[in-house]
Structure 1
Amino acid sequence: MARRLRTVGLEFTDSAPILLVFAAEVSAAPDVVYRALADDVTSWPSWFTAVTRATPTDGGAGREVRLRGGVRFRETVVAAEPGERYAYRVDETNAPGLRALLEEWRLTADGTGTRVQWTFAADGTGPFRAVLGIARLGMGRSFRDAVRRLDGRLTAPAA
Structure 2
Amino acid sequence: MARQLSPVGLDFVDSAPVRLVFARELTAPPAAVYRALAEDVTGWPAWFKAVTLCRPTADGAGREVKLIGGTRFQETILAAEPDERYAYRVDTVNAPGLRALVEEWLLTPSGTGTRVQWTFAADASAPIRIAMKAARPGMGQAFKAATGKLDERLSANSAQS
- TM category (shorter chain) comes to over 0.9
SS at 2:160's partner residue? coil
* Structure 1 position 41 matched with structure 2 position 44: no
SS at 2:38's partner residue? helix
- Aligned residues between the structures: 159
TM-score (norm 2): 0.97
Residue of structure 2 equivalent to 1:90: 90
Structure 1 segment 110-149 matched on structure 2, within 5 A: 110-149=110-149
**Unmatched tracts of structure 2, length 5 or more:** none
- Cα offset, 1:70, TM superposition: 0.6
Runs ≥4 in structure 1, deviation > 3 angstroms?
none
- Cα offset, 1:14, TM superposition: 1.4
* Structure 1 position 107 matched with structure 2 position 107: yes
> C-alpha distance in 2, partners of 1:132/1:90?
16
- Cα offset, 1:112, TM superposition: 2.2
Residue type matched to 1:96 in 2? P
Residue type matched to 1:123 in 2? D
Residue type matched to 1:125 in 2? S
Residue type matched to 1:137 in 2? P
Residue type matched to 1:127 in 2? P
Residue of structure 1 equivalent to 2:78: 78
> C-alpha distance in 1, partners of 2:45/2:52?
5
> C-alpha distance in 1, partners of 2:130/2:119?
18
SS at 1:127's partner residue? helix
Percent identity of paired positions between Structure 1 and Structure 2: 64
> C-alpha distance in 2, partners of 1:92/1:41?
18
- Cα offset, 1:130, TM superposition: 1.4
> C-alpha distance in 1, partners of 2:95/2:18?
16
SS at 1:59's partner residue? helix
> C-alpha distance in 2, partners of 1:94/1:128?
14
Map Cα deviations across residues 36-87 of structure 1 (whole Å, 9 max, x no partner).
0000000100000010100100111000000011100000000000000000
Residue type matched to 2:127 in 1? P
Residue type matched to 2:82 in 1? P
> C-alpha distance in 2, partners of 1:20/1:68?
20
> C-alpha distance in 1, partners of 2:8/2:21?
18
> C-alpha distance in 2, partners of 1:84/1:51?
23
**Unmatched tracts of structure 1, length 5 or more:** none
Structure 1 segment 15-54 matched on structure 2, within 5 A: 15-54=15-54
Residue type matched to 1:66 in 2? K
